[in-house]
Amino acid sequence: MDLVGYLGVLRRRLIPLLLCVVAGLAGGYYVGNAPDKTYAATSRALVNLPVASGEVQDTLAGTQLSGSFIQTYASIATSRAVAERMKGQLGLPETVEALQGKLAAAQVEGTFLIDITVTDRDPVRARILADTAAVALGDTVTELEQGKANAVQAQLLDRAAEPSGPVSPRPRLSLALGLALGLAVGVALAALLEALDRTLKTVAQGEQAFGAPLLALVPQRRADARLVVVGDDPTAVAGEPYRALRTSVQFLDTDAPVRTILITSATPGDGKTTTAANFALALAASGQSVCVVDLDLRRASLADAFGLEGVVGFSSVIRRAVALEDALQQWDDGLAVLPAGRPLPPNPSEILGSQATSRLLEDLLQLVDVVVIDSPPALPVTDAVALSNAVDAVILVARHGTTLRSAAAETSRRLAAVGAPVAGFVLNAVPGRDARGYYTDYRYGPPVEKTGRRQRRRQRREGLADGPPAAPVADRRRPRRDDGDTKSPRGRDTPATLGR
């Protein structure tokens, strides 16, 4: 995965990342503003080495050896013996272990000096303890060197100054560390969530799972939005993904135009019916005569998407109760709808794989230019696989963040096993942040005059803002009469060839 891929992962997992960063900043703020403050005071002690003895001079001839010698006395400064002397000299209530934990000593590089640092919650007390520690070091060294001819001595050189501010907490440092820690945990969590997420979220994942190219990307819409969005406005942004799908399909093979198109998905709820309805409308808007057929004989919903009566349809024609021309319902110029009909048959797979269904599709091609088929999902049932050999192209629909990659791969495998002509896939319900740059960021058309709020309010009062009221969607519905008469919404009889 390249840098762009990693940035895409962080963008998709932005909420957990931000939560970790906020938690890190909150923790850093809490630590940085803790009520218990710690002060540090440092005194300096000098270690006097004897120079009269030649043997001692030989021992300390090397600088490295001398540094190790002084470091030993720095360790003595933090020893239990020094802490016991401090407790005895000052009559401190702390235990020896507690005092020893407050001590720190370090050699000043290249010298015989030792800095002794003591931390305490009281700045004055920290200064007194630092000076006492240096004196206690001298007393301890004197006791250790007692009886030697050339004894080493340690004595207080510089007294500690009273601390001007606490060494802990440090608000800025705590915030910086909290930010860094939160960011690191957030990135790790984002990577973990991405590794555990097996759904389709990117075009690359879809192409790998389906083994087919992307034909269109459909941005996510509101839950209460209409299913049919490709209407009379040819510049509407909501219909642009389906017009892009139309263009992709039209250029699949310019020498042999695609006339029968099966639209299916791996699992229910991926948006195949919405895709079929809007894709058929987009084809009809280009001047072709189109028939969209609901062959989902288990959960028929195409008639509801168009707001049509679904009693008479495919099942009626198959059992020879109604002629094909009488079962078609015209939605608009160039588009006819063939619902699934009722009652739904008990054996959908056998019916869809029968010669009767193939003959019905051939008869439809005598009436229209293109037939779009809404079929059941491919994994739960075999209906779509049975139909796939009777069409010119199969379009797979996947839902962003819902369709499993394994399900998509299995769907592709089943269709490939029967030689289905899979043209590509549609990635549906893509969030705006992932669909940015496809259809959601741009609108190309005549400039729209901008009006202020007061001007729009005045226009509404004058009746100029919206013009005449638009015809409701229900006006486009074609009621089904009991006598089998099929009138179009504009009063025309349904033509036998639907514009051919």
What pLDDT is recorded for position 51? 60
For residues 265, 269, 271, 277, the Cα torsion angle rounded to the nearest 10 degrees is 100
Token reading at 394:
């199969």
What pLDDT is recorded for position 171? 86
What does the alpha-carbon distance between residue 66 and residue 110 come to, in Å, rounded to a whole number? Answer: 9
Amino acid type, 259: R
What pLDDT is recorded for position 461? 52
Go through the domains of the chain in sequence order and give each one's CATH number.
3-34+169-196 (no CATH), 39-158 (3.30.70.1130), 203-442+472-476 (3.40.50.300)
Listed in sequence order, the residues at least 6 apart from 43 whose beta carbon sits closer than 8 Å to its beta carbon are 115, 116, 130, 131, 133, 134, 156, 158, 159, 160
Sign of CA dihedral 425, 426, 431, 434: positive
What count of residues does the chain have?
A: 500
DSSP tag of 446 = S
How many CA within 13 A on the CB side of residue 178? 22
Token reading at 322:
């109604």
Listed in sequence order, the residues at least 6 apart from 54 whose beta carbon sits closer than 8 Å to its beta carbon are none
What pLDDT is recorded for position 337? 95
Secondary structure of residue 372 in the 3-state scheme: strand
266 neighbors 403 (Cβ within 8 angstroms): yes
Sign of CA dihedral 221, 224, 225, 228: positive
User: Tokens 């006006």 appear where?
Assistant: 475
Secondary structure of residue 160 in the 3-state scheme: coil
Residue 427: enclosing H or E segment and its boundaries? strand 422-430
396 neighbors 407 (Cβ within 8 angstroms): no
Could you give the C-alpha distances from 376 to 199, 348, 462, 468, in angstroms and in order? 20, 10, 51, 41
What pLDDT is recorded for position 36? 84
- pTM, full prediction: 0.64
Cis amide bond preceding 339, omega within 30? no
Query: Mean pLDDT, 10 residues at a time, over the chain (500 residues)?
Result: 77 89 92 86 90 51 62 92 93 92 92 93 93 93 86 91 88 92 93 89 92 92 70 70 91 85 94 93 92 94 89 92 92 90 88 91 94 94 91 95 94 94 94 62 52 56 42 38 38 40
Listed in sequence order, the residues at least 6 apart from 124 whose beta carbon sits closer than 8 Å to its beta carbon are 162
What pLDDT is recorded for position 458? 59
What pLDDT is recorded for position 470? 37
What does the alpha-carbon distance between residue 47 and residue 111 come to, in Å, rounded to a whole number? Answer: 9
Residue 173: enclosing H or E segment and its boundaries? helix 171-196
What pLDDT is recorded for position 439? 52
Beta bridge partners of 261: 372, 393
Amino acid type, 54: G
